[in-house]
Structure 1
């Protein structure tokens, strides 16, 4: 029997590509979008309205979901957003909003489906994190912090759900061509002392996005995780990602030197 997969943030970008590919592979895919009416005629799978930052929206989504299906096998937490800005110059309210989406929103929709997974004694929760949930690049302080929080939460959740035969996995991509950069939100104030430094890192980031890999590699990895009988918790993916994390953990001075050398090469 085909597995039923719920994918948050499935109306555009990587979420749309992932949902479309899994649908093509024969899975029953239920995608979510804040404005499904704008996209549902263009996608081959079912789209349901969901704003993961809104408690009422989550409740309405869950009710509608279980009118459509009696069983959910896999939840893929993909919805998220990107806030850019140096740590000191980022207003706390904007930082909180980053957490409301990337961390609390992800936690809330996961918690909404946990009773279902526990009752059926089966399920799989796959959360799209990021390599910046393992390292801390400049100009991405709150985004990085939100992904670090996601990493810690799902590491603990994996142990808590073992008695119920519910699997938990994290996918940690590095540079891939998605629309997250296009949809990034910049801080609404800045400190002039950081201007030159910030511009260098923005140039470095833009160059990384321009030369990034095709996200089909991430899609293939997630398909493999879904099919795995013993899926791993952590799943790094992307060029040099393993080396980057290894250097930070075991050769931190070399890691910092490498990061700063990229800054000197960046052309603004």
Structure 2
């Protein structure tokens, strides 16, 4: 019997790739989007409305999901956005919105679906985080904060849900070619003291994007986690990520010097 999978943010980026890949593999996919009417006719899977910034939208999600399916096997948290910019330049309200959407929105969706998973004593919760949730980089302080927060939250949640046979896993992608930068929000007021650093960060980011890998790798990693009965918690995907994480844990000073060296080229 085909498993039923709910994927948030499934109309673009990683979410769309993941949803299409799972659909191709025979899973019954229900995706979410802020504006499903714009995309639904072009997609092979069901798309329903969800706004992570709306309590009403999140609270009504379970009822809407269970008009489509009788049982939900897997929740994939993917929806979110990027706030890029120097930390001091970023208005607190914009930073707060980053955390409200990426962190609190994801947690609220998870909490909305947890009673169903607990009742059936089975399920899997997969959350798309980021390598930036493990190693922070300049010009993405609030995004890094939101992804670090998700990492910590779900790390604790996996212990709490173990007795209910509910698996919790994180997907931690590195740099991939997606539309996340095109859809990002940035502060408009610039502080002149940061101009030199800003130019270096822009060059560093452009180089990173040019060398970024095919995001299909992320969909393949999610598929593997979906197919694994008891997946490991942290699932890192991308070029050079294992070295990066080892540097973080065992020689953070070296990592810091490497990042600063890149920025100072």
Is this a same-fold pair by TM over 0.5? yes
Secondary structure class of the residue paired with 2:88: coil
TM-score, normalized by length of structure 2? Answer: 0.98
Distance 2:18 2:192 in 1: 40
Q: Does 1:158 align with 2:158?
A: yes
Question: Hey, what does 2:180 align to over in structure 1?
Answer: 180
Whether the aligned pair in 2 keeps the contact of 1:181 and 1:209 (CA below 8 Å) is no
Question: Which ranges of structure 1 fall in alignment gaps of 5 or more residues?
Answer: none
Describe the superposition over 1:80-100 as per-residue Cα deviations: whole angstroms up to 9, x where unpaired: 100011111111111000001
Q: After TM superposition, which residue ranges in structure 1, 4 or more long, deviate above 3 angstroms? A: none
Q: TM-score, normalised by structure 1?
A: 0.97
Instruction: Tell me the distance in 1 between the aligned counterparts of 2:164 and 2:208.
Output: 41
What aligned pairs does 1:232-251 form with structure 2 within 5 A after superposition?
232-251=232-251
> 2:258 corresponds to which residue?
258
Kindly provide the CA deviation profile for residues 122-150 of structure 1, in whole angstroms up to 9, marking residues without a partner as x. Answer: 00000000001011101100000110000
Structure 2 distance, partners of 1:110, 1:134, is 21
CA distance in 2 between partners of 1:63 and 1:188 (Å):
40
Q: Distance in 2 between matches of 1:113 and 1:206?
A: 39
- Residue 68 of structure 1: aligned partner: 68
Equivalent residue, structure 2, for 1:215: 215
Cα RMSD of the aligned pairs, angstroms, is 0.9
Instruction: Check the 8 A contact 1:154/1:168 in 2, yes or no.
Output: yes
- Is the CA contact (8 Å cut-off) linking 2:61 and 2:112 kept in structure 1? no
State the alpha-carbon separation in 2 of the partners of residues 16 and 224 from structure 1: 17
Contact 2:170 2:235 in 1 (8 A): yes
The equivalent residue for 1:25 is 25
1:102-181 alignment, distance < 5 Å: 102-181=102-181
Q: Pick which of 183-192 and 89-98 moved more.
A: 183-192
Q: Say if 2:176 and 2:213, in contact at 8 Å, map to a contact too.
A: yes
Cα distance between partner residues in 2 of 1:223 and 1:165: 20
1:15 paired residue number: 15
Alignment check: 8 A CA contact 2:90 2:186 kept: no
Within the alignment, does 1:93 sit opposite 2:54 as a pair?
no
Write out per-residue CA displacement over residues 34-78 of structure 1, whole angstroms, 9 at most, x where no aligned residue: 000000000000000000111101122221111111111010001
Alpha-carbon distance between aligned partners in 1 of 2:69 and 2:28, rounded to the nearest angstrom? 10
CA distance in structure 2 between the aligned counterparts of 1:9 and 1:202, rounded to whole angstroms: 27
Shift of 1:202: 2.0
1:262 to partner: Cα distance? 1.2
Matched position secondary structure for 1:70: coil
For 1:242 and 1:124, the matched residues in 2 are separated by 25
Q: Secondary structure at the match of 1:39?
A: helix
Alpha-carbon distance in 2 for matches of 1:216, 1:257 = 31
Native 8 Å contact 2:178 2:215 kept in 1: yes
